[in-house]
Structure 1
Amino acid sequence: MPMATSMDKEVIREAYEDVRSNLTDTEWAIFKFDSTEIICAAKGIGFEEFQQQFSDSERAFGYIRIQMGDEMSKRSKFLFVTWIGPEVGVMQRAKMSTDKSIIKEIISNFAAELQIELDSEMDISYFKDVLNRAGGANYGTGIREI
């Protein structure tokens, strides 16, 4: 019988708040599985490094801050990512919905949520498009064409 998934809530909360803070440079955190426990596996800066944290044979969650807006209005938006690699088995895939509900007890503030299963979907343009569609004003260039 499989054991229930657990997590160290304080460690997860600390990583979550680090990404949300304007006082640190941390832009993302990755949460992976160590047996039946969700752990904070990495934190960092830069989308390229974020992309490299996910392998084909694992399940993971990512929380990332992305700078949005234009020259008139800059703002941080947050995205919650569920990663299920293409080599992950059926039982582990099925378990992701309950595991996601556990981590979302802490990671609760984000503009959009994505489930990603292919490396090709791990794309900054795609992420920004999803965040733009999630809401908020898009002011343009500040130059009005007549």
Structure 2
Amino acid sequence: MSGKVTMTDEYINEDGPKKVSMATHINRSEIKEAYEDVRSDSTPTDWAVFKFEGSSIKCTVKGEGFDDFRAQFTDDERAFAYLRLQMGDEMSKRKKFLFITWIGPAVGVMKRAKMSTDKAKMKEILANFAVELQLESSAEFEIDFFMEQLIKAGGANYGTGVRDL
């Protein structure tokens, strides 16, 4: 049975069963620092992206601008992101935050399945957000879609005060 892979977290080799670590390592301090940077009003950082490097999740990039944010996601990877968008109307402006889980269409079944436990760990760090989205197509990365989700989550939407009759 040399080299046979089973559905558990162990595999068989000449020396018998061997445990394989399925745990994902998360650099909590690095992720928390990026999270606080996005939340801060004193920095221009609008977003942070957290990607898998081997069995670790790390902050791979932070930046400004939605187009640069959208360009960070490819079909063959999975990632998490934290995004700040400005909402409001002429009377009131406020920052709102989104937590995004990205699973590219070319990601395999086992990696897809593992995302739910990794997401729970990330949400312990990236705790404050108005909307959580799971995206699986690059076509879903549209600013209008994100804004629409934030408006829905915001409850009352008074707009400009002009009513449609």
Q: Is 1:103 matched with 2:103?
A: no
Q: Where does structure 2 lack aligned partners over 5 or more consecutive residues?
A: 1-19
Q: Which has the larger radius of gyration?
A: 2
Query: Which residue does 1:63 correspond to in 2?
Result: 82
Contact 1:78 1:112 in 2 (8 A): yes
Aligned to 1:105, the other structure's residue is in SS state: helix
Higher mean C-alpha displacement, 31-40 vs 132-141: 132-141
Q: Give the partner amino acid of 1:125.
A: D
Q: Give the partner amino acid of 2:134.
A: Q
> Alignment identity in percent?
61
So what's the TM-score if we normalise by structure 1? 0.95
Q: Where does structure 1 lack aligned partners over 5 or more consecutive residues?
A: none
Q: Is 1:18 matched with 2:37?
A: yes
1:1-146 counterparts in 2 under 5 A? 1-142=20-161
**1:142 deviation in Å?**
4.6
**1:3 deviation in Å?**
2.7
**1:139 deviation in Å?**
2.5
- Structure 1 runs of 4+ aligned residues shifted over 4 Å read 142-146
Aligned to 1:19, the other structure's residue is in SS state: helix
Contact 1:72 1:142 in 2 (8 A): no
Aligned to 2:116, the other structure's residue is in SS state: helix
Aligned pair in 2 of structure 1 residues 72, 101: CA closer, same or farther (>3 Å)? Answer: same
Q: Give the partner amino acid of 1:35.
A: G
Count of matched residue pairs: 146
So what's the TM-score if we normalise by structure 2? 0.84
